[in-house]
A and B are shown apart, each in its own frame.
Chain A
C-alpha cells in the first residue's frame, strides 16, 4: 500500500499530527501496535462496570486551539472542570484549595493571613509567566546555532517578548525558570502544608525533588488553564482520558484517515538517506515518502532505525537522552465513596486532587529514595475520584480512584519489578491513604498497579517516563530531543518526530503533534492553515 504519510503510534500527539495532515488532504494512515488507539491517553475497562483512565488522568494542557481546529467537541470530547483539591497532614488538619476565590482566601487565612496575601502575589507572578510562555507552545523552537533567517527571526521574536516584559519581570523570569520550587514558594508562603500542596504538581513525572533548582517553572501548569480561558481548562475528560484520543480518532477518520491497530512497527524503510515507508511486525510493508513517529526518540531511532543510517553525533545524542521514569500509577475500583477523617462530609474539595503530606521536605525525602533506586517510603500521591463528577466511569454509588504516585524508579536497586515488589509498592501507597481514610482499604474492589516498568511494557514509554523524556533544560526547547534536531525533522529525509520527546514536551497537550504537522506540511509545500495562528 502507498500513502502520502504514515504516522507511527496512535497516541494523542500522533493522532493530532495525523488529523492535521489528513485535513490538509494527505492520504494518511496511522499504525498502532496495540489493538486500541490512545497511547497514554486511554480509558480501559479492566473490571466489569468500571472504566479507568489507566495512564494520564486529568486534562489540563490540551491546547484549546487544537480542540477547536480538530473539532473535538463535535467528535464527542467534553472536558468537565473539577473542584479544587486538598492536602491532608498527619496531624488531622487539611488545606483545601477551594475553587471559589473568596472561600480560598478564607481558607488561606485560616492557616495564615500572610499566606492569603502571599497567594495573591504568587498567583499573579505565575500568571505573568504563563502569559509569556503560552505563545511559545505552538511555535517551533529556533536553533540558536543556526543562521537561517527563520531561526534568527524566531530567536528575535523570543528576545523581543522577553525584553517587552520590562526589567523587573525579566529578572523574575530568569528566577522562575531556574529556581527550585521550594525556594520559589518560600518567597510567598509560610505554611508547610500549603507549600507542599502547590509544590507537588511541580515534581509530577520528573526526576527532581522540590529542592532542586529548575523545578519552579513547572508551576506554570497551575495557571496555564486559567490563561487558556478559565472554566473547563482543568478537568476530567468525560469518560476518561481515552475520550480525548477517541475524539481525535473520529476527527481523523472523518477527514479520510485510516487507522490500523494491532500493527506494530518492525522498522522504518530507509533508502539512500530517505524514508520510503514502514515494515510492520506482521510482515506488511506500507510505503510513503513522509513518515512521522509518535514514539519517543529512543524507540524511533535506536529500536526501529538502523544505526548506519544515522550520523554518529545524533546517535550519541539519542543514547544520552534521559528518560528515568519516576512515577507509578494505581487505578482502583471502589465499592463506595471513601470518607476522610479530617474532611467535613461532602466537602466540595474532595471532588478535586487530594494529597497526604506535611511539608515539602516529605516530597524531597521521597525523591531521595528514588535517587537510591527505591520507591518512596512515603510517596507523593495525587489522588482523584473522578466518578464524583463523571457518571460514566463506574456504576451509580460506586467509584473509581486514580492514584498517581511519585517517586518510583524504573530499575530497583534491590531486586526487580516482580509481582511481590509491585504488590509491596501498591501496599505502600494504599497504607498511606488508609491512614487518612479508614474505610478506603475495605472499599477496594479491584486494582491495577503500574510501575514505570509496566508503563514501558504496556504503553511503550521508555523507562516509564510519562513525558517521553525528562523535562530539564538540557532537554527543553532547542535541546529537545537533540540539539540541532529540535524542529521535528530527523537526519533522515522524510522521517519526522511528533511525540512528547519533542518541543514543548509532555503532558496531554497535543502541541508537539500540531507543531510537527506544521513542519511536515510546510516541507511538502502546503499552504499552512491549521485553523489557528501560532
Chain B
C-alpha cells in the first residue's frame, strides 16, 4: 500500500512557549530562559535580588504551568490517592490541598507534590516529574480515571505580602477568608480561576489555576492591579532563594526520585529526608508501607539536614567533614539568606553524623578572589527548618501588606 497522506507536521523543536509566554517575553529583559520540562521558563527577568525581595516585601508572579498535573477522578479516587501517597488522604476534605510524598515498594521516595481535593471523587496531583505510568500502575484494578492535564491547566504563583490585597483589589470577594491549603473558585476579569493558598516561598501567597485560553486575560488583570501593590514578575532563581529559606526540598537537587536513579543507593527514604511526619503507617495498605514499616525501626543510613554555616560565603557544592578531616556528607542547596542574614544550606550526612554525632562539622568552601581560588573550612551546625518563618504566611484573614 502506498503512503499517500500529507506530511505530518513536525513537533515543536527547541523550547516550547507556555501559556504566558507572550507576556513573559515583554518582561524578560535579561533574555534568560531555562528549560522546564521543555517549556521556556525565565531564570531571571531583570535582577535576581530585586525579584527575591519582591517575594518578601510586595508580590510576585511566576509561571508554574510546566508543573505536571494529573486529574484523578472516579468512585475509587480517594482509595487510589490514599494508596499512592504516604499521608492519610481520607482526612483531606474537599476544598483542601496537602503536600505529599509517594514511595516505591522499597520505601524509597518517588516524588513529592501537592494533592488538591475538589470533591469526594475528584483530585488533582501537581508534581515535578511525569508520573502517568506510575499513577496507572497504582490505579490498576480500581474504578478511577487518570488523565494528564498538564496542558489543559495553566498555573501562576502569586506570592508575597501584598498578594491578598491585590486579589481583593480585583474584587475577589472572600479571598481573605481562604486559609492556608484551602481552595476556592473565583472570577478574574471574567475568567474562571481556581485559587489555592499554596506556594513554594513560605510566605503569604496563592496559586492560580485556569484554562490556558484565559491565561493572558488573567495575567493582564493581575499585572494591572499589581501596579498599586508593587507586583513584580520573577524568574526561577529568585524563587529558588525563597524556597531554600522556606525549608522546601527540590527534587533533582536535594533528592532524586527512586524512579530516575541509575545507582540503586542514590534513592532516599522519607526518614532520610526528615519527612517522617508525612508517613501514616497506621492507615490501610499504601505503596511501600511494608518496607517503610521496616525502615521506621532502623536508623537511617544517611540524613538530609538543615545546617547553618559560619561567615557569609554560601556553601554551593561543598563537601562536609567531621573534625575537618573525615568526609561525612555533602551540601545540596546553599544560600546566603538576604532576609534572615544567615548562611544556610541543606546537606546529606552519612550516619551517624547528623544523627548521634552533630558536633565538630565543617564544610569546605571554595572562594574565588580575583581569579584565585581559596579553600576555607567553615564550621557548621545543625538547625531546624524552616529558616524563614513569618506569621503572615498563615494569618487568616491576611493583612494588606
Contacts and interface: CB of A to CB of B under 8 A. Distances in A.
Interface stretch (B5-13, B193-201, B214-222, B391-399): B5-13
B133 A121 contact: yes
A92 B133 contact: no
Interface in B1-44: 1-16, 35, 37-38
Interface in A114-172: 114, 116-118, 120-121, 124, 127-128, 131, 164-166, 168-169
B13 A348 contact: yes
B148 interface: yes
B397 to A, nearest CB: 41
Contact of B136 (A102, A107, A114): A114
- Interface majority SS (helix, strand, loop, mixed), chain B: loop
Contacts of B130: 116-117, 120
B11 A110 contact: yes
A90 B1 contact: yes
A281 interface: no
A106 B11 contact: yes
Contacts of A174: none
A113 interface: yes
Given A120-B130, A131-B262, A98 B7 contact: no
A128 B262 contact: yes
A436 interface: yes
Most chain A CB atoms below 10 A, which of B5, B8, B15: B8
B16 A341 contact: no
A383 interface: no
Given A105-B38, A113-B148, A166-B264, A344 B3 contact: no
A341 B7 CA distance: 6
A118 B8 CA distance: 23
Contacts of A94: 8
Nearest to B133: A117
Contact of B12 (A88, A106, A128, A344): A106
A116 B10 CA distance: 16
B132 interface: yes
B360 interface: no
A98 B13 contact: yes
Given A168-B264, A169-B264, A93 B132 contact: no
Interface string A328-342: 000000000000011
Nearest to B36: A102
Nearest to A104: B11
A102 B5 contact: no
B5 A342 contact: yes
A107 B13 CA distance: 10
Contacts, number: 90
B35 to A, nearest CB: 7
Contacts of A527: none
A103 interface: yes
A99 to B, nearest CB: 10
A124 B3 contact: no
B13 A100 contact: yes
A344 B11 contact: no
A117 B260 CA distance: 12
A252 to B, nearest CB: 37
A203 interface: no
Contact of A344 (B1, B10, B136): B10
Contacts of B8: 92-94, 342-344
B9 A344 contact: yes
Contacts of B136: 114
Contact of B7 (A120, A127, A342): A342
A308 interface: no
Nearest to B39: A102
A92 B5 contact: yes
A345 B260 CA distance: 36
A347 interface: yes
Given A124-B259, A165-B264, A169-B264, A102 B16 contact: yes
B125 to A, nearest CB: 14
A74 to B, nearest CB: 32
A168 B12 CA distance: 37
B14 A103 contact: yes
Given A113-B132, A114-B132, A436 B259 contact: no
A430 to B, nearest CB: 14
B132 A117 contact: yes
B262 A436 contact: no
A131 B262 CA distance: 8
Contacts of B350: none
Most chain B CB atoms below 10 A, which of A113, A116, A117: A117
Given A92-B5, A102-B35, A121 B12 contact: no
Contacts of B10: 96, 344, 347
Nearest to A356: B3
Given A98-B11, A100-B13, A107-B11, A91 B133 contact: no
A88 B3 contact: yes
Contacts of A442: none
Interface of B: 1-16, 35, 37-38, 106, 130-133, 136, 148, 259-260, 262, 264-265
Interface of A: 88-94, 96, 98, 100-103, 105-107, 110, 113-114, 116-118, 120-121, 124, 127-128, 131, 164-166, 168-169, 341-345, 347-348, 435-436
Given A92-B3, A164-B264, A345-B7, 20 more contacts: A90-B3, A91-B5, A92-B4, A93-B5, A96-B10, A100-B14, A101-B38, A102-B38, A113-B132, A113-B148, A114-B136, A117-B133, A124-B259, A341-B5, A341-B7, A342-B3, A342-B7, A343-B8, A347-B10, A435-B1
Q: Which 6 A-B pairs have the closest CB atoms?
A: A92-B5, A102-B38, A166-B264, A106-B11, A117-B132, A92-B3
